[in-house]
A and B are shown apart, each in its own frame.
Chain A
Amino acid sequence: MIENKIYFEDIETISRRVRQKKLSPVELTKSLLKRIEQLDPHLNAFIQVMKKDALQQAQILEDEGMAGNWRGLLHGVPIAIKDIFETKGSVTTGGSKLLADWIPSQDATVVHRLKEAGAIIIGKTNLHEFAMGATTENPHYGPTRNPWNLNRIPGGSSGGSAAAVAAGLCYGALGTDTGGSIRLPSAICGIVGLKPTYGRVSRYGCLPLSWSLDHIGPMTRTVKDSAIMLQVLAGADPLDESSSTQPVEPFLDTRLESLKGIRIGICDSYFYDDMDPEMKQIVNHAILELEGLGADIMNVQLEYISEAFTAQRTISMAEGYTFHAAMYAKSPELYGKDLHVRFEKGKSITASEYLHAQQMRKKMIKHVLEQMESCDILVTPTNAIPPFEIGSITAENTVNNIFRLGKTPLGNLLGFPALTVPCGFTDEHLPVGLQLIGKPFAENMLLQVGDLYERSTEWTKAFKRNNILEQCNQKV
């Protein structure tokens, strides 16, 4: 018999109980599948639940465990993956009608690494079509709903992954992030999301949105769980020429007890522009808490933000269109309305505009690195305004939504690592996220600071107050 609270346990706890043979991966998987069956008709977090494969994998891992073979911290832990990663023998839709029947013949590198590490792939999560938007209102598979308020968006594009983790339908999920698609839905759904440094995680076997801006990372309920997942995901991959050869250090092997000596940069302009006042107050309070933990807080001035975002839109739209050009020209009816808007803009970008955008990107990276010489990390809001009501946004706004909803896009243009951790709730009981941005390959510092902040607050325990079950029962 699986008790109810187990759905919101962290990976560490589940892993320990599996290793001690106190928890059966098969029973755990069956129990989660039942919960998914009960809740997902209301949330629509999954495009495909991999019942048969998950149970088969759980049995293999249970047998291995009984024989004393333990693969590591993900052994027997059910994980969900965004339906943008290739899965051998299982449909990979990319959230599109175009790929509704595509069955890849291989696993994406990240899927392969998770499986080898003992993770049970429980299902493939819903997303904004081809990850090209921030609302996860998918025209082909329906909208994913926010577990904290079923009438609101979960953010996107990895909205299904965020909702599944927040609703206790899995213990962690994979997301992709081109303008904030891991961090924004994580913040909006009250979980932890990590976009690692560009190149830190192989993208082989992941459908691209924009080669220059795409990143892959974990979405979990605790910072430690993100560290556990990143440990498995990170590292060079000969199949992905953009993957970094930097050595992968042990993440979060030491946990901080104080932030003494850590310099945190705060940038007043841009990050607080057009922000909801209540959410701003919550973020400011979180910064005071970081100071209370011993961090030195200092002001950092970032310039060229507007030019940088123009460059980012140009790169994202041009690269996104290039990948889809032939398919869109042949069968535009297979794409949703908001992708039409995006592609029509992408199509008209000239070569010199694109190259100028890449030049601007380099200039911005250099500028931010210079400004960060005086600090170790930047701390900013993640989500800036409350999530939209489902169905309230027009197709024309899709490209700009990520810039309105959150303060995440800069991290993609820079390619620097960025972590979001929950830092409070609004009066409407909607989660707010705090974003930590580090220098290239400084994931461990982000994880250490985020972990200490998390342990010094109560936000992770808030899942117990998530009334997803009651909300779903009211809708029945």
Chain B
Amino acid sequence: MELSAYISQLLEIEESELMVNMEPAFILSFDKEAQA
């Protein structure tokens, strides 16, 4: 089962709200520097 679906069922929270909260945000990348 997806984590958001499990939590939604367990705690009765809208799954769509959980999915937004769980989406990774603000990510660092060294790829551009490493290729330069």
Cross-chain pair count, CB within 8 angstroms: 74
Among A172-180, A240-248, A286-294, A396-404, the stretch in contact with B:
A240-248
Q: Among the listed B21, B28, B33, which residue makes an inter-chain contact with A323, where contact means beta carbons less than 8 Å apart?
A: B21
Query: In the assembly, what is the distance between CA of A234 and CA of B33, in Å?
Result: 19
The contact string, 1 if C-beta is below 8 Å from chain B, for chain A 208-219, is 100110000000
Q: Tell me, rounded to whole Å, the shortest Cβ–Cβ distance linking B19 to chain A.
A: 10
Q: How far is the CB of B7 from chain A (nearest CB, A)?
A: 6
| B27, A102: Cβ atoms closer than 8 Å | no
- B5-27 CB mask vs A (1 if < 8 Å, else 0) is 01100111100011001101111
How big is the B interface, by class? 20 to 34
Q: Is residue A105 within 8 Å, beta carbon to beta carbon, of the partner chain?
A: yes
By a CB distance below 8 angstroms, the chain A residues around B13 are: 326-327, 330
Q: B29, A244: Cβ atoms under 8 Å?
A: yes
Report the bound CA distance from A105 to B29 in whole Å: 29
Bound Cα distance A241, B28 (Å): 10
Q: In the complex the two chains form, is B30's CB within 8 Å of A103's CB?
A: no
What residues of B have a CB within 8 angstroms of the CB of A212 in the complex? 26-28
A interface majority secondary structure: loop
Since A325-B21, A415-B30 are in contact, a sample of 15 more A-B pairs with Cβ atoms closer than 8 Å, ordered by chain A residue number, is: A102-B3, A104-B1, A208-B22, A211-B24, A212-B26, A212-B27, A241-B24, A244-B31, A319-B25, A323-B22, A327-B7, A331-B11, A440-B33, A440-B34, A441-B30
Q: A330-B13, A331-B11 are in contact. Are A103 and B27 (CB under 8 A)?
A: no
Name the distance in Å between B4's Cβ and chain A's nearest Cβ: 10
Q: Which residues of the partner chain B approach A102 to less than 8 Å between Cβ atoms?
A: 1, 3, 6
**A474, chain B: closest CB distance, angstroms:** 42
Indicate if the CB atoms of A440 and B30 lie closer than 8 Å. yes
